[in-house]
Amino acid sequence: MSLVNPTSRSKASSKPSARRAETARIYAHPLPIIFPEPTYTFLGLSLTRPLNPHCTALLDPITRSAWVENSGDAAILWQRGFFGKGDLSRSEPSWLARQINARKMKGKGLTSEEITAKRRAERKQFKLDRAKAMAAAAAEAEVAFKEEGRVIAPGIAPDGTRIIPSAATWKPTSISVPSEESPPDDTPDELREEIEPIQDLEHLQLSLQEAFFLVWALDCLTVLHPETNEPLTLAEIWNAFQNAHMSSLAPLLALPPPRFDNPFLVSYIAYHHYRSLGWVVKSGVKFCVDYLLYKRGPVFQHAEFAIVVIPVYEDPQDQANSPFKLQNAEPFTWSWLSTINRVNSQVQKTLILSYITIPAESRVPSKVLSSPACFAHYSVREVVLRRFIPARMRD
């Protein structure tokens, strides 16, 4: 019977809960706009104003995105709704934190990218050690058979212990995590930080859908012209985002040809639909889908649903005359559907086919496309697909 110090157990168990509490505190607000508790009311109406951060982003038509270069605005948009991604990171803009960790060389407070790099380095080292042990065991068994005529099991010592390491028993040695920073010199950390301050080279990259949602639905983002750095009006943003999917020779702010099947409009309908339902919507290109839906955000749990946007023309003649070749507009094959479904079922995500009905030009006048009021003429239908797995669905 082993005795365990209750103090050490309580300290060990309190670390995960403290980390979860800190994460919940940082990501407590689901949107950039904060509605504080009402301090006073008049005739039953609250007179407290919401707190609007009013962030700024620079439009980049080439990458079809908006860049938030201010680190404070980037932190607000990420921590309050998980908008955008760091251009030098997997998701959260943590490039500067990785550089600071690499400079201090303390190995504490690793970011998600550093944890992944460390895990991959350990897995690579384990495979090398196992291959070396297997080769040595095979050579030892061959020598024993030739010299003594004994047949021994490769990888088994005379006392019955295994020589070849397994994933459960192998312990990693000191492995250096690949760093983007140059090798450290002998200068003390305090002096090096004063002499060579680290400049934050990362910016938060917003998709056009995320940027328009922040501009139009929340009114907490200002988009600047890429050449003049002047703020764009809502009408100019409306035209610029649609022109981003036109020819690169088209003027940025010119009025695009009115089309209900503009790729920006179709994708934004799906993005706004799920954002308005309270989901955190992120890109799903990693899993061969358009969007991923998180209940609270990537730092809390994995995505529950994978969304494939399928445009459907109300009038087939509009599709025949369209200059756009929308993805998934043609009837899909069963092999494609099986592939997408299998990929997402392996990562425990439910696949949803989101059908966006594009209104017919013969029914809705094109002048409706002059403003976001045209969104009312679209419709969204959803079909949930689940792959039958006998071992998991016996109940």
**What is the helix (H) or strand (E) element at residue 354, kind and residue range?**
strand 350-358
**CB burial string 317-333: b at 16+ within 10 A, e below:** ebbeebeeebebbeeee
Residue labelled with tokens 């709704």: 81
| List 302, 313, 325, 378, catalytic entry | 302
Residue of 222, 227, 203, 202 lying closest to 212 (CA atoms): 222
Residue of 345, 347, 341, 379 lying closest to 360 (CA atoms): 379
Active site residue 294: yes
Active site residue 349: yes
Active site residue 282: no
The torsion of the CA quartet 95, 237, 211, 99, rounded to 10 degrees, works out to 0
**Strand, helix or coil for residue 223:** strand
**Strand, helix or coil for residue 83:** coil
| List 27, 273, 349, 378, catalytic entry | 349
| List 271, 294, 313, 378, catalytic entry | 294
Q: Look up residue 173 and give its amino acid.
A: T
Q: How many angstroms from the chain centroid is the CA of residue 111? A: 15
Residue of 67, 41, 65, 43 lying closest to 56 (CA atoms): 67
| Residues facing 46 on adjacent strands | 41
Catalytic residues: 294, 302, 349
